[in-house]
Chain A
């Protein structure tokens, strides 16, 4: 039960015959009498990520506590949040660069050319970001000029200044700011998880110590008890020995 509780919180009901029934989530049976019920990890649509099923029913949302729920929460809440933030940064970078770049002129006099392949939405932007294939194949299509003159660098400078532009988080943060905020968030959450885990471990240790204080064996205490009983035994033995000896003497006197 201790190992099971490490994985996920379970509820234990004492039975009249001294055994226990174990349930998980909203009363989903794990052990009832001498019957056991399996939990299974089953791929769930549309993401394909595993969910916990009991008897064919997805009970992932019912689970509480434990390493399993921690892992699921990290997968379903924390990491998607980080990915969304990263995607937002990537999406904004693509849009900002494309907006500036498409207004410029390349070495061949062309204009309205995106630098990055445009993205339909922020979803998956960090994974999908790529230099436009035409630009990647021919660097002369990079539009550095604001007018159709080969030596102009207006667009290149505007792109460079994008570094200081407040384009994220409600126009209050630069791309770098947002990236550092994301790194801070990941570090803070990880630190909080480590500290929380440590605190929980300390609590568990304390509870274990309290339980052991009641039900555990103290070797010193047992040794003291053993000495006490040994001494009692020796005292009794001596008593009986003395009585026996006394009777022997008495019998020998009477027998004369």
Chain B
């Protein structure tokens, strides 16, 4: 095949253009750190990156939900501990009022202590966190328990629907509780009625009534303990899932980086190679464009 001057020049310039294009590609990778700047750079990596970023966003969302749930559950845990302590103290007070040799003053003291404990439990059960009641169910802003003008605690006004948030895929944890399930449960009367009955019985020295009230407080104690156990389980689950999600998030970030970001060592090496190729192409062009035979003849 005859090799014409035009063909030789065209090949030379194509070689320079190809080398320059390759050099620009690596320069861009080195300067930006990004290998896939547009979908056509690597369509498969682009699609995978989108899925990975979506998954990463969901991990972050679950971690945030877990953080928020953890704060609320920590408050609930503290309140439940307090309620349990108060119920234990109330049973102790009932016992102190039950003795056959207790004086009126001692029984009055016990009654007053029970009233104080009842109010403390009421306060715990009507605590709100970030604007919603912890034991009000999904009613949210409706105070679950309140006293009437006579100081009698009214029936539960909250919702029996509990509120949960997902701390991971298909892993909900309850963060707002049904107060009635603790205060009443399967009993006929609620905890506050039991307190009131205990107060009256303490003043009257009614051992049977005190015994009945003590039983009601014990059942409330069990219910509160059961809910606290659930809270503890949820807190542990949040810790476990948060660790897992953070690990998954880091792995996802690493995968996105491996897909999207340039390997700097590789890019720098590639840039050096491309520069060498570019300079070689320029050198070849200078040789090719010399009209060797003419030069020889003219020389």
A90 to chain B, nearest CB (A): 16
Beta-carbon contact of B14 and A205 below 8 Å: yes
Beta-carbon contact of A212 and B7 below 8 Å: yes
Beta-carbon contact of A152 and B138 below 8 Å: yes
- Report if A150-B141 is in contact (Cβ < 8 Å); known contacts: A218-B2, A223-B297: yes
Among B38, B44, B165, the residue within 8 A (CB) of A157 is: B165
Inside 8 A of B132's CB, which chain A residues have their CB?
150-151
Q: Give chain B's interface residue range (CB within 8 Å of chain A).
A: 35 or more
CA distance A210 to B10 in the complex (A): 13
CA distance A196 to B173 in the complex (A): 55
Closest to A176 in B: B54
Among B39, B164, B172, B294, the residue within 8 A (CB) of A187 is: B39
Q: Render B1-30 as a binary contact track against A, CB cut-off 8 A, 1 for contact.
A: 111111100110010000000000000000
Chain-B contact segment, one of A23-31, A109-117, A178-186 = A178-186
Inside 8 A of A214's CB, which chain B residues have their CB?
2
**Is A149 an interface residue, CB under 8 A from the partner?**
yes
Beta-carbon contact of B140 and A212 below 8 Å: no
Inside 8 A of A183's CB, which chain B residues have their CB?
39, 43, 46-47, 50
Beta-carbon contact of A216 and B166 below 8 Å: no
- Give the A interface residue count (CB, 8 A): 42
The residues in A between 219 and 243 inclusive whose CB is less than 8 angstroms from any CB of B are 219-221, 223-224, 227
B50 to chain A, nearest CB (A): 4
Among A150, A213, A223, the residue within 8 A (CB) of B139 is: A150
Among A152, A187, A208, the residue within 8 A (CB) of B43 is: A187
Among A151, A163, A184, A186, the residue within 8 A (CB) of B163 is: A151
**Is A50 an interface residue, CB under 8 A from the partner?**
no
Beta-carbon contact of A180 and B159 below 8 Å: no
B252 to chain A, nearest CB (A): 13
A149 to chain B, nearest CB (A): 4
Inside 8 A of A221's CB, which chain B residues have their CB?
2
| Chain A residues in the interface with B (C-beta under 8 A) | 145, 147, 149-153, 157, 160-161, 163-164, 176-177, 179-181, 183-188, 190-191, 194, 205, 208-210, 212-214, 216-221, 223-224, 227
- Sampled A-B contacts (8; CB under 8 Å): A149-B159, A160-B61, A180-B46, A186-B39, A190-B39, A191-B43, A212-B7, A220-B3
Further pairs besides A184-B46, A186-B43, A218-B3: 18, Cβ < 8 Å: A147-B161, A149-B140, A150-B132, A152-B163, A157-B166, A157-B172, A160-B166, A181-B47, A183-B39, A183-B50, A184-B47, A190-B43, A209-B10, A213-B2, A213-B7, A219-B293, A219-B294, A221-B2
